A and B are shown apart, each in its own frame.
Chain A
Amino acid sequence: MAGPALTDTADFDREVRVAIAECVTERGVVPASSEVAVRIAASESDVSDAFGRLAAARVMILRPGTTDILSFNPFAAGPTDFTVRSAGREWWGLCAWDAFGIPAALGSDGVVQGACADGCGVPLEVRLAGDAVGALDGVVIGFALPAREWWKDIIFT
């Protein structure tokens, strides 16, 4: 399992990205580098390096200080404040935008469950089906920071 030549890095990174997407589609999970390595018959070290490059290219977000995927946006690797039921599975999004993006990426309807962020904690559910959106009257999505600042601290964003 030789590592990719420098000239092949873009192709290798694409192969890794596609393998991650396949894990999401087929198994409903955001994979570890070890699973991707087995799937594409590459070394875990090479896959971890690709994870780093994909994160730098803002294809996904890694847990700080690791090469573990925090979110292959919109799909978070583990539980968050936003739970999504879509395509027969339960998923998590890092934020409301990502939560809405999960059924969009899956090409399916979905139900997003979260809570009002204003301390009141009122449970909120948004049903997304085709062009229809169902939610309590008045529910909104809030953006704290202007668009140009989102990637300065994407985990906060």
Chain B
Amino acid sequence: MLLFRSEEHARSWRDAHGFPDATTISVETGWRLAHAWYARKLQPDWRRHTLEEAETLFASLGLGGEFWRLRA
């Protein structure tokens, strides 16, 4: 997961490096995603998200479709 100055720069990188499925999210969505994913990582009762939980989280942030699907 990389930072890009703009969507145009992200597309340029995608085409140059051969990742046709590459996608982008806004930094605002990235912050919400990171917070939901990692807020409890340092807590003793932390556990990994299940695949179902992760997909539900992605969907709650508007991250849907084939790119964000985790289960076959």
Residues of A within 8 A of B (CB): 14, 17-18, 21, 24-25, 57-59, 73-74, 82, 95-98, 100-102, 104-107, 112, 114-120, 122, 124, 126, 128, 133, 135-136, 138-148, 157
> What A residues does B29 contact at CB under 8 A?
141
Asked if B23 lies at the interface with its beta carbon under 8 angstroms from chain A, I say yes
Question: Closest approach, in angstroms, between the C-beta of A69 and any C-beta of chain B?
Answer: 13
Bound: A24/B48 CA distance, A:
18
Q: Majority SS of interface residues in chain A?
A: mixed
Count of A-B residue pairs with CB < 8 Å: 159
> What A residues does B68 contact at CB under 8 A?
146-147
Asked if B7 lies at the interface with its beta carbon under 8 angstroms from chain A, I say yes
Question: In the bound complex, do residue A105 and residue B1 qualify as a contact, i.e. CB atoms below 8 Å apart?
Answer: no
Could you tell me how many residues of chain B have their Cβ less than 8 Å away from some Cβ of chain A? Answer: 47
| Identity of the chain B residue whose Cβ is nearest the Cβ of A97 in the assembled complex | B1
Bound: A97/B58 CA distance, A:
13
Residue in contact with B25 in the complex, picked from A112, A117, A119, A141, CB distance below 8 Å: A141
> What A residues does B16 contact at CB under 8 A?
118-119
Question: In the bound complex, do residue B22 and residue A142 qualify as a contact, i.e. CB atoms below 8 Å apart?
Answer: yes
Contact with A along B21-37 (1 / 0, CB 8 A): 11111111111011101
Question: Closest approach, in angstroms, between the C-beta of B45 and any C-beta of chain A?
Answer: 9
| Identity of the chain A residue whose Cβ is nearest the Cβ of B43 in the assembled complex | A21
Question: In the bound complex, do residue A118 and residue B39 qualify as a contact, i.e. CB atoms below 8 Å apart?
Answer: no
Instruction: Tell me whether A143 and B1 are in contact in the complex, defined as CB-CB below 8 angstroms, given that A96-B30, A106-B42 are known contacts.
Output: yes
| Identity of the chain B residue whose Cβ is nearest the Cβ of A95 in the assembled complex | B1
Bound: A118/B19 CA distance, A:
13
Residue in contact with A135 in the complex, picked from B7, B14, B27, B39, CB distance below 8 Å: B27
Residue in contact with B24 in the complex, picked from A98, A101, A133, A140, CB distance below 8 Å: A140
Bound: A124/B2 CA distance, A:
11
